[in-house]
Amino acid sequence: MWLKLVVFVAILAFLAPKIFVWYFSITIDKPKGDYDFIVVGAGASGSVVASRLSEVSTERVLLLEAGEEDLPNPLIHVPLFVTFLQHGKFDWEYKTEPLNNAGFALTNQVSYWPRGKVLGGSTSINYLVYARGTKSDFDSWDSLGAPGWSYQDVLPFFKKSENMLDPDLAKTAHHGTGGPLNVSLSYKHKILNWFIRAANEIGIASFDYNRPDGKGVSPIQSTSTNGKRTSAADAFLRPVARRKNFDIVCGAHVKRVVIETQSDGSKKAVGVEVVKNEESFIVKSKKEVILSGGAIGSPQILMLSGIGPKEHLKEMKIEVMKDSPGVGSNLQDHFVIPAGFHSFNTDMHDQVITPDVLSLSNIASYLFHGSGSLTTTGLDALGFAKVLSDDKHDWPNIHFYLHAIMWKPQIPDQTEVLMSLFNFKKEAVDDLIKEAHAINSDHTSDFTIMVGLAHPYSSGSIKLRSSNYLDHPIIDPSYLSDTRDVTTLVGGLRLIKKFEDAEISKAMGIKMYMVMNNCTSLHGTSTDAYYECVARSAGITEYHPCCTAKMGKDPMAVADARLRVHGISGLRVADASIMPHLTTANTQAPCYMIGEKAAHMIKQDWGLI
Ligand SMILES: Cc1cc2nc3c(=O)[nH]c(=O)nc-3n(C[C@H](O)[C@H](O)[C@H](O)COP(=O)(O)OP(=O)(O)OC[C@H]3O[C@@H](n4cnc5c(N)ncnc54)[C@H](O)[C@@H]3O)c2cc1C
């Protein structure tokens, strides 16, 4: 009897993972023959492109993803666990070169740049904020040599993707319903009421930040369904992956695009070289290859394929297929400064996410009602403002977030987390703890407001480290190399400091503190030099790299406004790289839109609609 039971359990233990994979998996092991379209990278844009192209049943579509499949996994799908997704198998784990003008509180002045390496790409590891940017962003793209990308042109594609679940927002003209991507209002911690009221008091009005215009403040709209992350894979791949004309292969690292010289001397993309399980093979495309590897992956693949700045390719000993000086240049990223706040009068335990969040009642409310703190990444609200700027555009130049997580620096784990997520130096975190001790005996930071540059003037570059596809490229974001960005951030930090002055803040005893790298001892606490020191020390990536293969008409443009790579037929880029410049807000919503618009243009160009 016991023996039978042991054998039964052993068989079950052996079979269960296989049954799980068989039931949930939507991928196949290897490509099957040639395809009409090959899409590289299953992130925000690539998932949409592949999904939409495969709607045409006559076309064979292949989606190749270097990372593994995102089988149901609490780490991915429970929003609060977002920080556990970094530094693991779902993350490319990029690092920048040492920064020259920022990062003084970072170990070796190096910024840690996670990117999703998994089905769903960065949407499987991101913070879920769904924010599109302003009308001016897209009108500016259009005027910079990308006709067809004005706000009026792109709005239908934002709406096509979206299924806005909030009934009030769903009624507005600019939101979409019925698209594959669920967007909902995130769970609201009580501290949100303070934040919105304080913002209103200091002159920042409430509004829907996805309206075309604007400055104001609003609760977060997030890409989630009943408290569960909705990634690009959940929204665009899982529901359609069993289409007969659609194959998805994971663990497939694309080394390069295969380019042939035609009889008339022109160059054409005819497929890709892929490495899976250490085996290298070529897959042929009959119509097009679409690169959606993201702002780091796509320029890297382009350069490895011989498309890039001639001198750099020669230096890397790569045969030049097309001298394209813009590949890898124009790297832009939002750069954000965390500012800690503390409340002296109010018990924060029911106001924000506290370290005891994994209580039975919280877990039960998550499992049974899809509500509570586990449904959020901690980001509760997002605001936009314009501070001291001679910027001619109408767009906001800073954005700021309420991060409703109580940070208790005296808990060693949390110190480790800060060091590992952002590469902060131990001394910098220790500085902060010391100052927090001095400010209040409980030495906790109850929550954080983060303020970031919406439209940085500084831009950097991505270059190959070598011709080996496995080597991470050289990433130089050049944060704060343009002093106008410092001026804007000083203005932004001063604006955030004003939150203290609101009557509601005084009633709750809310105070800001922000100490980094001896800024206080060097510069006091209220001078511009102090705020500049904080910005240059504590600033970190907001995870929004883009623009490294921009579309346009000027000599630095890599693709035209239909995303066709200049000088190589049968090849497009569709992802964050093609943006001419950053949008005011977060980048996933624009990347979903780019995927929708790219698929539409490809279908038009091949007479498929
Ligand atoms: C930690 C984090 C938090 C973020 N938070 C937010 C947020 O809250 N809101 C927001 O709007 N944005 C956020 N972002 C940014 C947002 O997720 C990205 O801007 C967006 O996903 C970019 O879309 P993409 O298609 O350009 O690239 P990605 O989504 O990164 O997809 C690129 C895909 O290509 C694959 N790939 C790359 N190279 C190769 C290769 N050689 N072969 C095969 N496959 C390859 C990658 O593995 C990846 O799956 C965050 C990003 C990160 C990393």
Per-residue pLDDT, 429: 83
Per-residue pLDDT, 508: 93
Whole-model pTM: value is: 0.97
35 contacts 62 by C-beta, under 8 angstroms: yes
Residues 6+ apart with CB under 8 A from 587: 544, 546, 576, 579
Q: State which ligand 1 atom lies nearest to the alpha carbon of 301.
A: 41
The catalytic residues are: 544
CA proximity to 195, closest of 514, 511, 504 = 504
DSSP assignment of 397-418 equals SEEEEEE-B-B-TTSHHHHHHH
CA 513 / ligand 1 centre spacing (Å): 32
Nearest CA to ligand 1 atom 24: 294
Binding site members: 118, 126-129, 254
Per-residue pLDDT, 411: 67
ipTM of predicted assembly, 2 dp: 1.00
Per-residue pLDDT, 444: 66
Per-residue pLDDT, 264: 96
Name the residue of 543, 593, 597 to mutate for ligand 1: max ligand atoms within 8 A of Cβ. 543
* Distance, CA of 232 to CA of 229 (rounded, Å): 10
* Distance, CA of 130 to CA of 122 (rounded, Å): 13
**Pocket around ligand 1: residues whose beta carbon is below 6 Å from it?**
40-46, 64-67, 114-117, 121-123, 125-129, 253-254, 292-295, 297, 301, 543-544, 575-576, 586-589, 591
What is the token pair recorded at 434?
């010391």
Binding site members for FAD: 118, 126-129, 254
Instruction: Quickly count: other Cβ atoms within 10 Å of residue 353's Cβ.
Output: 25
CA 294 / ligand 1 centre spacing (Å): 6
Per-residue pLDDT, 8: 76
Give how far Cα 520 sits from Cα of 101, 107, 425, 450, 551, Å: 19, 20, 18, 19, 44
Q: State which ligand 1 atom lies nearest to the alpha carbon of 119.
A: 49
Per-residue pLDDT, 220: 97
What is the token pair recorded at 497?
């400091």
**Residue 568: beta bridge partners?**
267
What is the token pair recorded at 567?
């000088």
* Distance, CA of 428 to CA of 434 (rounded, Å): 10
Q: What is the mean pLDDT of each run of 10 residues along the chain (609 residues)?
A: 78 76 90 98 98 98 97 92 95 98 96 98 98 97 98 98 98 98 94 97 97 94 96 98 97 98 97 98 98 98 98 98 98 94 86 90 94 95 90 92 84 79 89 71 78 97 98 98 96 95 95 76 87 94 98 98 98 98 98 99 98
